[in-house]
Amino acid sequence: MTDNIENQNSELTDKISELESLVKNNSGQDRVSVIGDQIIPILTELVTPPDFDKSIDDEIQPDDDQKYDVLAEKVEQKLSSELDDIVNLLEGNLKDSIMHELHDQIKKDPNKKSDE
C-alpha cells in the first residue's frame, strides 16, 4: 500500500516538475494550455470583476440593445400566441367534458327531470 502511495507521489512530483519546466520555458505571451485539440491561452494578469464588466459594457453597442428588444418582443409574441392556443384548447376540452358528463347524467336519470 505504501509503495502505491509512493508511486503516486513520485508521479505527481514528476508531473509538477514537467509543468514547472514548461512554464519557465515559455514567455508570458506564448503561454498556452493544450487540451486535446484546443489551445487555451493562460492569463498572465489578474482580471477582476469590475474590469470584466467594463470590457463587456464597452463591447455592447446601442444597436445591440435594440436587437435584444426586438428579439424579446418576438419571443413574447410567440409565447403569447402559443399560450392562447393552449388556453383555447383547454376551454374546448373542458366544455366538451362538462357537456358529456351532463348528457350521461340525463341518460341515467330521465325520471328526475319529469318529477321536477
Compare 68 and 112 and report the one with higher pLDDT: 68
56 and 100 fall within a common domain: yes
Residue 66, all three cell numbers: 435594440
- The full length of the chain comes to 116
70 and 102 fall within a common domain: yes
108 and 56 fall within a common domain: yes
| % of the chain with per-residue pLDDT over 70 | 59
The CA-to-CA distance between both ends of the chain, in Å, stands at: 92
Taking only the tens place, the pLDDT of each residue in 65-109 is: 788 888 889 999 999 999 999 999 999 999 999 999 999 988 887
88 and 113 fall within a common domain: yes
Distance CA 116, CA 111 (A): 9
Q: How many domains does the chain have?
A: 2
61 and 106 fall within a common domain: yes
31 and 15 fall within a common domain: yes
Of 45, 60, 75, the domain-final residue: 45
16 and 55 fall within a common domain: no
85 and 33 fall within a common domain: no
66 and 112 fall within a common domain: yes
CA-nearest of 29, 48, 47, 31 to 39 is: 31
CB distance 73 to 66 below 8 Å: no
Domain range for residue 98? 48-116
What was the pLDDT predicted at 66? Answer: 83
SS (H, E, C) 34-79: EECCEEEECCCCCCCHHHHHHHHHHHCCHHHHHHHHHHHHHHHHHH
29 and 57 fall within a common domain: no
